[in-house]
Amino acid sequence: MKNFRPYLFWFGAALLVTIGAILGMQWVRDHPEHIPTMRFELAHPQGWATHRKLVALASDDAACFAAFDRAEAGYLQRPAIGSGACRASQRMILTGDSFVPTMRPAGAAPSCAVTAAMALWNRDVVQPLAQKHFGQRVVELENLGSYNCRKIAGEQTQSQHSTANAIDISAFILADGTRISLINDWAPGDKRSEFLHDVRDETCGLFSTTLSPDYNRAHADHFHLDMAARTAGWTVCR
């Protein structure tokens, strides 16, 4: 019996390891949003790996458009424009409002990666906060454009707008026609301001960069959102 006890111990240990492995595999299958190596899906909830996956899409045109194809999202892929540091090959326009509210103007055509982030942003941030503060949906987003071949103001670094890897959002239009704009409603005072500040705060970490009127005068009238790739995946939110 004494000689048998070590075998019981190792059998028990092996059994626990096997059960742990099975449970671990099941957890991975159930939570792909946390696993960097599992492909991005628009239907997945946000997880630990979501931002990393979105950044990866910015440099993988085929994988990004395939995510929209799998989600059966209607879109128009715009022709690539520019060259070198100003080449934009992922520009797209969604043809419905299931993933992102109607854009005004309609031709902004941000990159596929930014559009994917906007779909999650709309689902997880914009619409829940609109319901919380106003009891209705956001049906339109006003924007100041996406593609613009230029450097960041006052710097030598190329702007993410140079590859359409950014979008500037200036106002939110509710279902009843109410317009909530950054230039008019950012200052504290009512629920419009509370909504805008909450949107900024809850956007942090989804996009690589989230800049608001609190950042500087150049952003007094819009949110700047981009999917820049940075060392160690750090994000900026101001």
**Contact status, residue 166 vs residue 224, Cβ threshold 8 Å:** yes
Indicate whether 166 pLDDT > 90: yes
Confidence of residue 204 (pLDDT cuts 50, 70, 90): very high
Confidence of residue 182 (pLDDT cuts 50, 70, 90): very high
Report the C-alpha gap between 27 and 47 in whole angstroms.
13
**Contact status, residue 132 vs residue 126, Cβ threshold 8 Å:** no
Indicate whether 22 pLDDT > 60: no
Whether residue 58 is found in the same domain as residue 3: no
Averaged confidence pLDDT in the chain: 92
To the nearest whole percent, how much of the chain has pLDDT over 90?
Answer: 84
Whether residue 6 is found in the same domain as residue 78: no
pLDDT at 155: 87
Report the C-alpha gap between 104 and 114 in whole angstroms.
16
Q: What is the model's pTM?
A: 0.90
Whether residue 131 is found in the same domain as residue 176: yes
Q: How many CB atoms lie within 10 A of CB 152?
A: 13
The average pLDDT across 60-79 equals 98
Whether residue 79 is found in the same domain as residue 12: no
Angle, CA of 171, 174 and 177, to the nearest 5°:
95
pLDDT at 30: 59
- What is the domain count for the chain? 2
pLDDT at 23: 47
pLDDT at 27: 44
pLDDT at 14: 65
Whether residue 25 is found in the same domain as residue 111: no
Confidence of residue 12 (pLDDT cuts 50, 70, 90): low
Confidence of residue 153 (pLDDT cuts 50, 70, 90): confident
Residues 74-122 have pLDDT tens digits of 999 999 999 999 999 999 999 999 999 999 999 999 999 999 999 999 9
Whether residue 87 is found in the same domain as residue 195: yes
pLDDT at 29: 63
Tokens coding 137: 């949906």
Residues 218-238 have pLDDT tens digits of 999 999 999 999 988 999 999
Whether residue 66 is found in the same domain as residue 109: yes
Whether residue 131 is found in the same domain as residue 193: yes
Confidence of residue 24 (pLDDT cuts 50, 70, 90): low
The average pLDDT across 153-177 equals 96
| Structural domain span for residue 21 | 1-30
Whether residue 47 is found in the same domain as residue 25: no
